[in-house]
Amino acid sequence: MSEDLKQIRNRIQRLQRIFNSSAEMIMTADRSGRITDFNICAQRTLGYRLKEARAREARSLFEDPKAFAHLMSQFKDRESVRGFRTRFLSASGAAIAVELTLSRLHN
């Protein structure tokens, strides 16, 4: 294996450790709204395994569908939204207060 490839692999592994070591819930979703990544904190807090989370749309986590619509209307023409307070539903059905930050991913 080339040295460059080893460095890339090490960097990817390091970023994955940072993602999964965060004390904050982190998730990503694709353009259609389907969850693509769900870190360990999110899994523990909301009670969904990664495989279960990836089968869901992000909107399904919101207790109030109007809150999701409001958040998306704020995000539509911005690069990010910070400090959006709402409630997510856990796998057990419990409502959990969350404060969200949304950011667009760029290539």
List C-alpha distances in Å: 2 to 5, 8, 10, 15, 81.
5, 10, 12, 20, 41
pTM of the model as a whole: 0.87
Question: What is the residue-level pLDDT of the chain in tens, covering all 107 positions?
Answer: 688 999 999 999 999 999 999 999 999 999 899 999 999 999 999 999 999 999 999 999 999 999 999 999 999 989 999 999 999 999 999 999 999 999 998 87
> pLDDT value at position 2?
87
> pLDDT value at position 26?
97
Q: How many CB atoms lie within 10 A of CB 56?
A: 16
